[in-house]
Structure 1
Amino acid sequence: MYQENCPYCNLHADEEQQIIFENETCYFIQKESEQQILQGSGLIIPKKHKKDVFELSDQEWKDSRELLIAAKELLDRKYSPDGYSVGWNTGRAGGQSIFHAHLHVIPRFKDEPFAGRGIRYLIKQEGNRRN
């Protein structure tokens, strides 16, 4: 599957986008401009266009995990983060803005201003309660 207007189906169209690792079905990518705030941040994406995580095949799940482990080993060596935020945004309400499945891999550091605010932060904010 391929989508002509999808940035993750057309990685080579963006000069800043780098493929760091790949396997049979997935890539681990990093974009230069996104390294300015949290160094090492990247994405694991399927090579075939899949709208979201729920469309991944068993092989894509396996290959995503393989790249997640490889990315962690690289990032641990290069940046020595104090933790990670790892997650899928799915659907507009879930924060997905590019509708090609992608797993965020974000090294976290104890000296960053938002240290300690992980994925669960959203469910602990009284201001986020539904009416």
Structure 2
Amino acid sequence: MSNKETCPFCYPKKDPEQQIVFESETCYFLQHNNEQDVLVGAGVIVPKKHRMNTFELTKEEWAETYDLLHKAKEYINDKQSPDGYTLGWNVGEPSNQTIPHSHFHVIPRYNDEPLAGKGLRHWLKQPENKRK
């Protein structure tokens, strides 16, 4: 999925499991039905234009990402009542960016999760992750 023609975030309406929950002029907030099995309520904010990574976003896309984030939080709070959130972008293969289209993860977190309290930095700070 490395080109624009096959990018799932460029054409979210082609996937019947992909829901466009909200959209602005330049961005979508998406939730995918098949991704809700473990990460209940999770979604991504993506620019409508194909941007390989976050560093390519325009100022307008940044501003609309901010607006959609707050709209998504209100929506998820109403539907799921999470206890917290993990938010983040992955940029490049070493950070596990598997779809080469910028996407901002909005992941609700719950006190009763087996991995509650383990955020983004927890995994990165493990001794086995230290460079030699």
* Common topology (TM > 0.5): yes
Gaps (5+ residues) in structure 1? none
1:27 shift after superposition: 0.2
SS at match of 1:43: strand
1:46 partner letter: P
CA distance, structure 2, for counterparts of residue 113 and residue 123 of structure 1: 18
Would you identify which runs of 4 or more consecutive aligned residues in structure 1 move more than 6 Å? none
1:123 shift after superposition: 3.1
For the aligned residue pairs, the C-alpha RMSD in angstroms reads: 1.0
CA distance, structure 1, for counterparts of residue 123 and residue 39 of structure 2: 20
Which residue is 1:112 aligned to? 113
Task: Give the share of equivalent positions with the same residue, in percent.
Answer: 52
* Paired positions, count: 130
Deviates more, 1:72-81 or 1:117-126: 117-126
Which residue is 1:43 aligned to? 44
1:119 shift after superposition: 0.9
Which residue is 1:130 aligned to? 131
CA distance, structure 1, for counterparts of residue 63 and residue 74 of structure 2: 17
Taking the TM superposition and a 5 Å limit, the aligned residue runs for 1:1-131 are 3-131=4-132
TM score, norm. by length of structure 1:
0.96
1:120 shift after superposition: 1.1
CA distance, structure 2, for counterparts of residue 3 and residue 10 of structure 1: 9
Gaps (5+ residues) in structure 2? none
1:122 shift after superposition: 2.6
1:36 shift after superposition: 1.0
CA distance, structure 2, for counterparts of residue 76 and residue 13 of structure 1: 28
TM score, norm. by length of structure 2:
0.95
